[in-house]
Amino acid sequence: MAQISAVVAFVLGVLQGVFEWLPISSEGNLALVLTVFFGLPAADAV
């Protein structure tokens, strides 16, 4: 399992709060952000 930095964890926390207001899965969005923008393998992002 990959380790993420405190900055990435903070950004993901902010995004989680924003995504909660949308009528779509916030966890799915976070997995997408981790994979696309932070280069984390898809298996680790889920």
Contact 5, 38 (CB under 8 A): no
- 26: its two tokens: 């916030």
d(CA 12, CA 7): 9
Contact 13, 31 (CB under 8 A): no
Backbone angles phi, psi at 37, to 5 degrees: -90, -30
Q: Where are the domains of the chain?
A: 6-44
Locus of tokens 């909660």: 20
pLDDT tens per residue across all 46 residues of the chain: 567 788 888 988 898 888 888 777 777 888 888 888 888 887 877 7
d(CA 41, CA 3): 12
Give the global pTM: 0.61
